[in-house]
Amino acid sequence: MLKGKTILLGISGSISAYKMAHLASLLQQAGASVYVIMTKNACRFIDPVVFDTLTRHRTVLDDFDRANESPVSHIDLPKMADAFLVAPASADIIAKAALGIADDMLSSAIIAAYSCPLLIAPAMNVHMFENPVVQENLKKLQDRGWTVVAPGIGFQACGDMGSGRLPEGEELFEWLEMACGAEKDLKGKKVLVTSGATREAIDPVRFITNHSTGKMGTAIARAAAMRGAEVTLVAGDMRVPAPQFVNTVRVVSAEEMFNAVTAVSDQQDIIIMAAAVADFRPAEVASEKIKKKNTGTETTITLTRTHDILAWCGEHKPEGQFLCGFAMETTDLLQNAGEKLRKKKADMIVANSLRAAGAGFGTDTNVVTFLRPDGTEELPILSKNEVADRILDIIIKERGTD
Ligand code: CTP
């Protein structure tokens, strides 16, 4: 998402400045052009040569001297940038940004920046961070359109515990993707995604589940959030972390997923059901562990049907809502998926065969066919992230962006 983008990083004095080397490397690997401005105090924590090397651009330092690429880097760089992230941001640089003080290269660049998304990631001791003057300054910046990246909570270099840790490079990378990585063509839309596997309890120790890892659903939720939607992810058991920028509702069983979805389904513009929901659950859940000595060599668990959540949403679909389901099959892919499209009253089924190379549980790729009431479209093997965007593209084409 950041390929070809120009990212400006402003680094001020904090022990966490070392994390910016990893971020610069991630950005470079993603194909972004990275420029760095460092304050004098930042240079006491990490040598600018680290960033010269990682970004292949000379790091702009605080002395307005001839070593900088341009004598007016503080004007040129913000003009070129697709996003400007000040991180780690000390209490000092936050105050300068809030008050308009421009007495060094970084604070001057901050004043000169007006056309690109501006992000600031505070990093300092918990007592400094909680000081009302710092909070007021951050509020001022937020009110002026800056995105304030909330610091992490935990152990601090000074020995205190609390809020003020700079998020890791991966998290800052995602904030930059959010700031400038995608067109916000789902802005104002509410999207609900189901993901992962449900677990149906047999007794307090055992359950029935399936191989779903939640990768496909997570990719869809993330893509929708990056494109500006307000996303609710109803997540069963997943092998991958829930993405940033989405409201994740954790559930265990099909019953819990049904309740979580139906509580909010009528407020959604788009519902995409990627979860692998159990069709059956044990009719009775034993309250104590089932012991072998009580069952003999063979035993039977009586199963009963769960709610079909997609079918329920199809029956209760409000006007204008787009409902998309998945179908994972081992035989007769198009026929089975077509039946699901009709029976469950969905607007689209994303069908994939467990037999296709590059599709299935836990893979990073998928091979899917879109089934709509007016036709089918076969896609080549794509990453799950690309499949997620293609699903959203179709929905936007159908429903528009308003
Ligand atoms: N689904 C659901 N609730 C269920 C079962 C499935 O919402 N109890 C949804 C899935 O999230 C998916 C779609 O229905 O979007 C199809 O799921 P799938 O398991 O492929 O099909 P089933 O309806 O279970 O049918 P079958 O067992 O005949 O394949």
Average pLDDT over residues 318-338: 95
Q: What is the pLDDT of residue 203?
A: 97
Q: Are 390 and 371 in contact (CB under 8 A)?
A: no
Residue 309 CA: nearest ligand 1 atom is 7
User: Per residue in 203-251, pLDDT tens?
Assistant: 999 999 999 999 999 999 999 999 999 999 999 999 999 999 999 999 9
Q: Is the pLDDT of residue 372 over 60?
A: yes
Nearest to 262 by CA among 201, 196, 318: 318
pTM (predicted TM-score): 0.92
Q: Quote the ligand 1 centre to 385 CA distance (angstroms).
A: 22
- Dihedral sign for Cα atoms in the order 121, 127, 128, 133: positive
Q: Are 2 and 32 in contact (CB under 8 A)?
A: yes
Torsion of Cα atoms, 199 then 201 then 204 then 210, to 10° = -40
Other C-beta atoms closer than 10 Å to the C-beta of 344 total 20
Q: What is the pLDDT of residue 160?
A: 87
Give the tokens for residue 295.
């069952």
Cis preceding-peptide flag for 88 (omega within 30 of 0): yes
Give the tokens for residue 314.
């199809």
Q: Is the pLDDT of residue 274 over 70?
A: yes
Give the tokens for residue 284.
């009775």
Average pLDDT over residues 377-401: 93
Strand order in the sheet with 270-273: 247-250, 230-235, 190-195, 270-273, 322-329, 348-353, 368-372, 375-378
Ligand 1 pocket, 309 CB below 6 A?
yes
User: Per residue in 9-58, pLDDT tens?
Assistant: 999 999 999 999 999 999 999 999 999 999 999 999 999 999 999 999 99
Ligand 1 pocket, 234 CB below 6 A?
no
Q: Are 61 and 30 in contact (CB under 8 A)?
A: no
Confidence category of residue 362, pLDDT binned at 50, 70, 90: confident
Burial tier of 191 (Cβ tally within 10 Å: 0-12, 13-18, 19+): buried
> Which residues are the active-site residues?
158
Confidence category of residue 281, pLDDT binned at 50, 70, 90: very high
Q: Is the pLDDT of residue 67 over 60?
A: no
**CA pair distance 393, 197, nearest whole angstrom:** 26
Q: What is the pLDDT of residue 72?
A: 74
Ligand 1 pocket, 275 CB below 6 A?
yes
Provide the 8-state DSSP code for 279. Answer: S
**CA pair distance 206, 221, nearest whole angstrom:** 30
Q: What is the pLDDT of residue 68?
A: 61
Ligand 1 pocket, 193 CB below 6 A?
no
Q: How far, rounded to the nearest angstrom, does the alpha carbon of residue 137 sit from its chain's CA centroid?
A: 28
Give the tokens for residue 157.
């270099």
Q: Is the pLDDT of residue 168 over 60?
A: yes
Ligand 1 probe mutation, 261, 308, 312, most atoms within 8 A of CB: 308
Ligand 1 probe mutation, 192, 238, 257, 310, most atoms within 8 A of CB: 310
Nearest to 16 by CA among 212, 175, 152: 152
Residue type, 264: V
Ligand 1 pocket, 24 CB below 6 A?
no
Per the model's pLDDT, the better-predicted residue between 160 and 40 turns out to be 40
Average pLDDT over residues 333-354: 95
Q: How many CA atoms lie within 13 A of 75 on its CB side?
A: 4
Per the model's pLDDT, the better-predicted residue between 122 and 160 turns out to be 122
Residue type, 87: A
Average pLDDT over residues 331-346: 96
Collapsing DSSP to helix, strand or coil, 285 comes out as: coil
**Which residue has a Cα nearest atom 28 of ligand 1?**
336
